[in-house]
Amino acid sequence: MKKIVLLITTILTFNQVLQAQKLDKNIIDKRLELKNDDIYIVNGLTYEQKDSLKFNKVLKSHSIDRLVELTKLRNDGRSVRCANNDIVIIYFATQQSENEIKMKLNEIRDKFPDEYYGFSQHILTDSKNPVLMVDNKTIHHTDSKKIIENLNTSNIIFIDYKSEPQASEIYGQNAKNGLIRIWTKQK
C-alpha cells in the first residue's frame, strides 16, 4: 500500500479546529475528507463504517487532550485486505510501561545539548534542542533542559518523540530538531 501520509499529529493544530467540541467520527471524516468506506484504527483496534456507534463510543472514552496522532494513509488499491479504502490511524496517549518510559526518557535527555542563560535569551539560530511540550503546553526553550532533567518517571504516562523536522509555523524555530511530547499524571 502506497502511503501518502496526511499527518495531523498535534493537538495544537487539531485542537484549534475543535476547541469546545468533542472528537467524533463526523468531525474526523469532514476534517480528513474521508469517504464512506474508510477504515479507522484507534490504538490498534480496527473499526469500519458499520461500527460507527462503537467507534464514537471509543473516541468519547478518550480525552482530546491525549490525542497523539491522527493520520490518514491513502490506499492505492494494492492492499487486498483494505480494497480501495483509506486508513485513518488515531492514537491516544495511554499508560506506557515503566521500562518504556525509562528508555524514552533516557533517550530524550540527550537531545537537549544547548545551554541557555536566562529566560529572556533569544533562541539560538543553530540550536540542536527539539521542541518540548508537557501536557499540551509548549515549554519555553530556556526551560526545556531543566524540565527534562527533573522529570520523574513515576509521574509520566506517555512520551512521544518525533525526531524528524516538524512544522515551524506551528512549533517555532526548534521544530527542525523534532518534537517531544510528554503527558503526566494529573494531580
Give the CA angle between residues 75, 180, 133 to the nearest 5°.
115
pTM score above 0.85: no
What local confidence, expressed as pLDDT, does residue 1 receive?
36
Range of the domain at 45: 5-92
Indicate whether 31 pLDDT > 80. yes
pLDDT at 40 over 70: yes
Encode burial over 112-144: b for 16+ CB neighbours within 10 A, e otherwise. bebebeeeeeeeeeebebbbbbbebebbebbeb
Select from 73, 92, 111 the last residue of a domain: 92
Same domain, 76 and 105: no
Domain check: are 154 and 173 in the same one? Answer: yes
Residues 86 and 121 in one domain: no
Domain match, 13 and 87 both? yes
116-142 pLDDT tens trace: 765 555 566 678 889 999 999 999 888
Query: Tens digits of per-residue pLDDT, 80-98?
Result: 555 567 889 999 999 999 9
Residues 6+ apart with CB under 8 A from 184: 134, 135, 151, 155, 156, 157
Residues 10 and 88 in one domain: yes
Compute the distance between CA of residue 111 and CA of residue 10 in angstroms, rounded to an integer: 20
Say if CB 71 and CB 5 are below 8 A apart: yes
The phi and psi torsions of 70 (rounded to 5 degrees) equal -140, 105
Shared domain for 77 and 109, answered yes or no, is no
- What are the beta bridge partners of residue 87? 39, 73
Q: Of 92, 110, 131, at which residue does a domain stop?
A: 92
Please identify, among 72, 92, 112, the residue that sits at the C-terminal boundary of a domain: 92
- Can you give the pLDDT at residue 84? 60
Which of 29-33, 46-50, 93-97, 110-114 has the highest average model confidence (pLDDT)?
A: 93-97
Shared domain for 11 and 86, answered yes or no, is yes
Q: Are residues 83 and 110 in the same domain?
A: no
Q: Using CA atoms of 123, 175, 159, 88 in order, give the dihedral in degrees to the nearest 10.
A: 160
The grid cell for 181 is: 511530547
Residue 115 carries which side chain, given as an amino acid letter? Answer: E
Residue 47's DSSP bridge partners are 40
Please tell me which residue, 102 or 124, carries the higher pLDDT value.
Answer: 102
Beta strands 67-73; 5-8: pairing state: antiparallel
Asked if pLDDT for residue 77 goes beyond 70, the answer is no
**Domains identified in the chain, total number:** 2
In this prediction, residue 17 carries a pLDDT of: 43
One domain, residues 88 and 167: no
| Structure confidence at residue 158 as a pLDDT band (50, 70, 90) | very high
Question: Could you tell me if 151 and 110 lie in one domain?
Answer: yes
User: Are residue 135 and residue 111 in the same domain, yes or no?
Assistant: yes
Instruction: Kindly state whether residues 142 and 158 are assigned to the same domain.
Output: yes
